[in-house]
Homo-oligomer: A and B are copies of this chain.
């Protein structure tokens, strides 16, 4: 069928443009010398323009229309649907608005950095104000049914609505608050791992070995260093993980490696048969985050895993000689009473950091909060959720790059990922013979059962199903079921209850 062939070629080319963008992004953060910034920005701009041109091309619109009415199998139907969604978003947004947003965020970035580093919100405020105005305009172009925030959220977690997410997050906060009150009463100052000032190379070597032992295919990927760790999937055969080294907080390197490896497993597991198609990729940021959180929290922060791993870590990193499983387990799960920074947060305070941002974003999207109100609103929310006040706006409202970059509606996907990961891990545990069997595997350093289960239920599905349907099917619920928070809350209660004796 000619229409299909034309469409398939255009779809493949859009995928290839994505490949170029991913490579430029990875290179920029990992390899590019400092003076390469300007040329890279120019090339990224041209790539975005070319991509936009090709996405909104009316010929593609006609092909989509023809194919939407044609007899296609389920996979092809979904390929058309996924391209159509992206095209609809691009068509709805006026070129002028897209350019203005790119320009405004481009100018805002260095100002945000300076504001953060000098604790001076006032210089950033006018920029943030402009960004919020443009984002509000964008939401009107995208459209929504009841709640303006839905237009933002849907960009990052396809199909999610405020009405779905808000009660879920509220339930999570209500369960964590009383847990935290008790946890903060325990003195855990000595739970941290010894620092490793002269063993950073060993830490990186150990992390690379760990990746390989988890079964990560290093012929189809890499591990490098980056200031802010991330994972970039150029193709299932080329998935690049990054981590960072911090002598004062060495566990961060291990946890970041495992977190990004979880993302990487997802990308490596996308089936070859869908290469070059719109379903040959991850389905949503929330589902992506479920994969990273699962390996980070349910494996690398578990007691069982450290039973097997402790001797290896203690041998590889000289300052850790003699440490046992409990030492690593406690260090990995120490709750910091002064948890100001989201990206450094432990597993128990992390959700509250996300919920705080989610609540502020809803208020901003409704026009109830302006940019200038944010520093005080932020600090009030920190008191409410964590009982602390940041020492300055740099460690408060200015800590994240997201708003400066125009990423609004993105934060909730982090917590959705944690909730999903607990539901997936609970079902996997059941399917793999129960808790005792899974614990024994983790302690024995055998991960292929768990990885195989995730390959089967999640990775191999690509973007063939909508996120909520994928999650429902994987966890054994009916399609379209609500997000199930019970496994997540049970998990947190049990783990931190045991650890802190509460």
A: residues with CB less than 8 A from B are: 12-13, 15-17, 19-20, 23-24, 27, 31-40, 42-43, 45-47, 49-50, 217-222, 234-235, 237-238, 275-276
Contacts and interface: CB of A to CB of B under 8 A. Distances in A.
Contacts of A24: 20, 23
Given A33-B219, A33-B220, A238-B33, A20 B39 contact: no
A38 B235 CA distance: 9
Contacts of A20: 20, 24, 43, 47
Contacts of A220: 33-36
Interface of A is mostly: helix
A34 B219 contact: yes
Contact of A27 (B23, B39, B237, B275): B23
Nearest to A268: B35
A102 to B, nearest CB: 15
8 contacts: A12-B42, A16-B46, A32-B238, A33-B218, A33-B219, A36-B235, A36-B238, A39-B275
A13 B235 contact: no
A237 B43 contact: no
B31 A221 contact: no
Chain A to chain B: the 5 pairs with minimum beta-carbon distance, closest first: A36-B238, A39-B235, A35-B237, A16-B46, A35-B220
Contacts of A38: 235, 237, 275
A35 B276 contact: no
B33 A221 contact: yes
A222 B33 contact: yes
Given A17-B46, A33-B219, A36-B234, 9 more contacts: A13-B49, A16-B47, A19-B42, A20-B20, A23-B24, A32-B238, A33-B222, A38-B275, A40-B235
A43 B18 CA distance: 9
A242 to B, nearest CB: 13
Nearest to A239: B33
Contacts of A17: 46
A149 to B, nearest CB: 36
**Copies of this chain, count:** 2
Contacts of A36: 220, 234-235, 237-238
A38 B36 CA distance: 27
Contacts of A31: 31, 222
B238 A40 contact: yes
Nearest to A47: B20
A19 B33 contact: no
Given A37-B237, A38-B235, A235-B38, A19 B43 contact: yes
A237 B35 CA distance: 5
A369 to B, nearest CB: 39
Contacts of A47: 16, 20
Nearest to A17: B46
Contacts of A33: 218-222, 237-238
Given A23-B23, A27-B27, A46-B17, A39 B234 contact: yes
B276 A42 contact: yes
B43 A16 contact: yes
Given A46-B13, A49-B13, A19 B35 contact: no
A434 B15 CA distance: 58
Contacts of A46: 12-13, 16-17
Contacts of A40: 19, 234-235, 238
A222 B35 CA distance: 11
Most buried by B among A27, A36, A50, A234: A36
A291 B442 CA distance: 58
A235 B45 CA distance: 15
A35 B234 contact: no
A226 to B, nearest CB: 14
A235 to B, nearest CB: 3
Most buried by B among A43, A220, A221: A43
